[in-house]
Amino acid sequence: MRLTRDRNFYRTFFRLFSLIVLQNVIVLSVNLADNIMIGAYSETSLSGVAAVNQLQFIYQQLILGTGDALVTLGSQYWGQGRTGPIKQLGRAALCVGFGAGLVLFALTGLFPRQIVGLFTTSAAIVEEGARYLRIVRYTYLLFGVSSVLLALLRSVEIVRISLWVSLSTLVINCSINYVLIGGHLGAPALGVTGAAIGTLVARAVELGVIVCYYVFFDRRLCVRREDVRHWDRALMGDYFRHCRFFLVVSLMFGMSTALQTVILGHVSDSAIAANSIASSLYQVLKVASVGAASATSIIVGKTVGAGDVARLKEYVRTFQWMFLGIGLLTSAALFLLRLPILSLYELSPETKVMAEHFILVLCVTCIGTAYEMPVITGIIRGGGDARFVFVNDLVSIWGIVLPLSFLAAFVFRWDPAVVVLCLNSDQIFKCAAAAIKANRYTWMKKLTRDAAPEERKEANA
């Protein structure tokens, strides 16, 4: 099984991989800083913000799915050197992203307390969450647009701007949170309202920076006024048909994650705290798998679009060995960091032991994650087969993992570590389906349309 000797392949992959990983680390740092700052102000405020964040997580998964669908289609056109269709696809994705944000904006404006009440029965927490939601709901409109615009750039291999945008969001959000949450530098102590203002300002600046990049610095897409005015119904229809699988999978993932929290929340109070610690550490290291999947999707889509099947097969073989290496390194880092990280927390002996057991379970399952996630979402879905991801998640998560975990927690009353293993078991058995599907190459699908006569004339000119 010969690995590719194409040096440009390795340069491209590791450039995309490193930038995407850094961006995700910064995004996680924003969430962590928010929790630390609002938690230092009030535990009730932290719980209110956490309840709203459950809703935001599902929404963000939908928006990320919208962007991933754009990257899959757009990168194939980029492999053919055609940017005109990419801009039309981006227009369709903006309709979906902004539309989803508008729906959520309206619902949270009409029923703020009822929506927060879905996640808690505490009147005090509901009140704090509603206060936070009154302002932060405006960010849903901004996030839907900015995420799609960044995905549009990723489809033509521009990812550095995402890193700088995330960094600016971190600095602005933390600075405003410091001033307004607790009332520093002469400002009033606004609590959750201050946190919401910080998030809103950061999202507004984020969108402003992205728009400025398109206007003054972009040299690949070169969006013009006529691109905005022109509507290509065929291309937009292609996007809407392709996007539906991404949206359903993203929604299923967001809902299943919330249900997993519910399952562990009913096991014991110690399990909630232990899982929070273990998953927080794991999420930081999981960015390597997420980065590998995103970088792979861009390279695979571009190669499929170019029609170079021999090179694509060479790349796919190389990718799979690289993913296994990333998994082993992630597992080793998780294992070595478990005790130093646990020593930073003031925990009861029972919770500390449980958290260590949870981390040891994740040391095993993360190897599977590092392989199956980039193969399924990077190679298979990036190559054009979004339906396989939908069917695979439907069967594995909703047909096996969640029913098994419910039985383990509430019927068999198994040890919490075994319940965590059940909740993450799909990360292991999905590897078999991923390997078989990837190495059969039935996922290679041309999603592009042939160039229109006017597009060919423009390219020749």
Q: What is the DSSP letter of 379?
A: I
Predicted local distance difference test score (pLDDT) of residue 226: 73
| Cα gap 352→340, rounded to integer Å | 12
Q: Which amino acid is at 61?
A: Q
165 in Cβ contact with 22 (< 8 Å): no
382 in Cβ contact with 301 (< 8 Å): yes
Predicted local distance difference test score (pLDDT) of residue 453: 55
Dihedral in degrees, nearest 10, Cα atoms 406, 412, 417, 423: -20
As to burial, measured by CB atoms within 10 angstroms (0-12 exposed, 13-18 middle, 19+ buried), residue 176 is: buried
| Cα gap 301→329, rounded to integer Å | 27
Note the pLDDT tens digit of each residue in 368-404. 999 999 999 999 999 989 899 999 988 998 899 999 9
| Residue 460 pLDDT grade (very low, low, confident, very high; cuts 50, 70, 90) | very low
283: CB partners within 8 A, 6+ apart = 28
282 in Cβ contact with 56 (< 8 Å): no
| Residue 43 pLDDT grade (very low, low, confident, very high; cuts 50, 70, 90) | low
Q: What is the DSSP letter of 409?
A: I
| Cα gap 65→316, rounded to integer Å | 23
| Cα gap 178→160, rounded to integer Å | 28
Alpha helices (H) along 224-348: 225-229, 233-265, 269-306, 309-342
Predicted local distance difference test score (pLDDT) of residue 31: 66
214: CB partners within 8 A, 6+ apart = 149, 221, 223
Query: What mean pLDDT do residues 95-104 have?
Result: 93
Name the percent of the chain in helix, strand, coil, to the closest 5: 80, 0, 20
Lowest pLDDT segment from 47-61, 277-291, 313-327: 47-61
Q: For residue 299, which phi and psi values (nearest 5 degrees)?
A: -70, -45
| Cα gap 402→41, rounded to integer Å | 36
Q: Which amino acid is at 316?
A: V
> Which residue has better confidence, 229 or 160?
160
pTM for this structure? 0.85
Note the pLDDT tens digit of each residue in 113-154. 888 887 667 788 888 888 989 999 999 999 999 999 999 999
Q: For residue 232, which phi and psi values (nearest 5 degrees)?
A: -105, 100
